[in-house]
Structure 1
Amino acid sequence: MPARRHAIAAIAALGLILSFAVGHAQTLTAKQSDAVAAYDRALGDFKSILAERRSQIEAKQPLPNLPGQALYLARVAMISTYKDLTDAVPSRIGKPNKFGIPPAYFDAAIEPLVDEYANLFEIMEAPPASAQNSATPFEDVVNLAAAIARAKGLAPADANAAGRISLGLFFAETNGKQNVRNGRSNTYMGSLQTGASEDRNGQRKWEAIKGAIAAADPALSARDDKEEARSRGTDRRFNHWTNVRDGLMNAHADVFREIPGIVKTLPDPIDQMKLFELIQIIPTPTRSALKSGDLLNYRVSSATIMKHLRNNSIFAFGQADRARSSASFREILAAMWLFKRKFEKAMVKYSELKPR
């Protein structure tokens, strides 16, 4: 009899819990219910496009042009609608996730879906058969950046910072994978994701400092001659060495001179990497911010620039973020949370390379 009473009590308690849950669900406002429905649709769409791409790949069917774009947009919609949902129903904010995405933007329960997203991109962006790989891709990035920085007049410690920062760029652009294609663009390719004109511009700039490089580092210069000959007659963006070299020379080499001041303003190495990634994404405003004397408070308000930021996963998620019409560099750096995990990987890799 006591056991039966306990069972009845437990059932009654469960009934109260369920009654509360149902009652709570019934108290959602129309806006909250719309937010729930929007997220459920976006999550369903994300699952659907993941399944479609996986099926096409496994069946060896032709993929559409820019096969990653639909995946990317579905992921943006999923994260955006989840942020709108947690804005409307804060109780839906869950636990931290392995990607380091703020929990208000991402439900940790769907981590496997994002793993599948990354796996599909790795397949779609695999290097072409003609790609000219390097046996030392990470060392190449660090050594080239440090050599360029020294040629620009930097002291050894600041040249080392240039190497570390550039390794971060490699991870930001390709997650540390060399000679990849681009599932979202027919323009940007290779280890540092450059366009053909950017690659040519970088090559011209390299020629201007090649003599200084050769005098300071004959071994690196000899390696460069070898890779230059190897890449002749091909798309040089798929030679890891020449693409990294020309990508750094095109966009970043001139800014290496600013590293001593950047390190003082941004002592966190990951923030330094974020800033140089912004030179890749929004070069002109970033250079203006550096020249302003007040980097962190420098504000951008161009609709075009804000669009470029959103297209690179900055202020891209949720109605509140997307409604922004301007942002300071302090705010932009803080919003680059999707890059943080990549930069942390770069820091680990750099610590492994330093003893060599």
Structure 2
Amino acid sequence: MSARVSIGVAAMAILLAACGSSPTSAGGQPSPSATVTATAAANLIVIADYPQSSPETTPIVLHLVRPDGTEANRLTLKAGAMTTTARGARIFVVEHGGVLKALHRDGSVEDLASLGAPDPGVMVVSPDGNTWMWGTLDTNGKGIVYAGTKVLFYTASGPIDLVDPVSGRVTPLNHTTDCSFSDLAANGMIACFPSANEHTLSLIAGNGRVTSVALPANRFAREGAAYFSPNDDKLIVGGATGAGAGQERFASDLIRTSDGSITPLGLDNVRPANGGWAWLADGSVIVYRPQVAAAGPGVWLVGPSGSVTKLAAAGEPIGVLTG
């Protein structure tokens, strides 16, 4: 049975922060990044080089890489700080004591909030980087406890709700009770993995029509990470043959949403980056292999025509700066 973990927490308190004004640095002056205009050429893929030992004393290094593979900047975090994601003009960083800060492409720092906990759990950020949510356990410490196992792909076990960050309105998302949610397209189509059928991806249209896609069992013994392209005409889905250091052999296939037809990505032994941001606006997609993968680490950008650009020899992509 494929290992799946909910990204939700029972009795979770959801906190929302929205910034409508220009970002400010820690010193209170407007960040130079606030005036950057988002263009395709200005996109920077943020790759985190995590320490392989002594994480409390060895800092994480962030590589800001252009789509052509050249490095635009390199940022070093404080020892013990951890990154969450990069969206819009912000790289979100949690420092000791649950202090949330943002780094910008020029290295300037912006104070955002105190999360009230040293580990915020899952953080969700809007594409423009101006709205973010995180979760904390309630005062009784209630939550979901998971049995220990190696988890390669994080999907959300339902039921799933949609939250409007402005009004706070919560709307149930249909068909997610028995199908582990992965992504929602702009046209309302859901990509999820049915609990009753292994090696299967379900594409559920807004009208309820279900397209079942059989994933090759020899390459998708564990499946997850299904994300729609910017125009929703296809999605990438990741899988692996096994879990554990030296055993992780990954696969990524492309699926057409119109008919469920499946095509190998064209680059072997890679998995999609962890979110819909894996797709760039031009139809390129970010893929990678983690440090312990059997084929060795690396980060690549696969273009719409199948061209492959190596972005880094190691590390994990955590997001894309578009501003």
Between structures 1 and 2, the one with greater helix share? 1
TM-score, normalisation: structure 1: 0.27
Between structures 1 and 2, the one with greater strand share? 2
Larger Rg: 1
